[in-house]
Amino acid sequence: MGICAFMLLLSLPGTSEADEGMPLQNQINTSYLFRILRSYAPDRQTTERQYGKPDIVRENREHPYEIRSMPDGSRLVTMYRSMGGLVEDEWRLRRLPDRREFDALAQGTTAEEVKLIDPYFTILSGSDPDKGTSEHRLRDQGLATVAYAMVEGRWIVQSVSYTERDPAGFVSKLTPEDRAAFMEP
């Protein structure tokens, strides 16, 4: 018992420093699977220290969230778990893209062209560093997953697949007025 208490005391002093030093932007716009498997979930205070006070707060919902305006004109939506207030999802966007925009991507397209559709995506690669994927929330509440291959130092689109309903339910959790604001071109 004494050893457990000693270990707890050793780990507590560094906790607040770890929160402040964690770059949250590395966890924005990442795949659903990555988000549910991560071992670190910041809280509201950590998010506020990193990005400032929110412009919009939606508290009276089963899925509370905040929206912040970013310096480049995009908005950061931070969704919290209803119990405990830990970050459940963060997504940065200007607008929600349409499925047809991803349908237009041909095999061999570069990630730079994908960036024209969704400028804030993250490519994640697993055990093979030459293969990666990115996820993109869609205005129809679906999800586009783009598969890439690294060719001569550039990410090249191999395929685009769709999930009819985003497993995180991002778009469906937004109020109708907030959803409408992300539908504008």
pLDDT in tens, the chain (185 residues): 333 332 322 222 332 232 333 333 445 666 666 555 555 567 888 888 988 999 999 997 788 999 999 999 999 999 998 887 888 889 999 999 999 999 999 999 999 999 999 999 999 888 899 999 999 999 999 999 999 999 999 999 999 999 999 988 999 999 999 999 999 76
What residue spans define the domains of the chain? 23-95+171-181, 99-163
Beta strands in the chain (DSSP E): 56-58, 65-69, 75-80, 87-93, 131-137, 143-151, 154-163
State the architecture of 99-163 in CATH terms: 2-Layer Sandwich (3.30)
CATH no. for 23-95+171-181: 3.30.1450
Strand partners, 163: 143
Calculate the alpha carbon distances from 114 to 69, 118, 120 in Å: 23, 6, 10
Q: Which residue, 91, 93, 89, is CA-closest to 36? A: 89
- Give, in degrees to the nearest 5, the angle at Cα 137 between 135 and 138: 130
Query: Pairing between strand 65-69 and 75-80?
Result: antiparallel
Classify residue 75 by its DSSP letter: E
Please answer whether residues 42 and 79 qualify as being in contact, where contact means their C-beta atoms are separated by less than 8 angstroms. no
CB 123 within 8 A of CB 148: yes
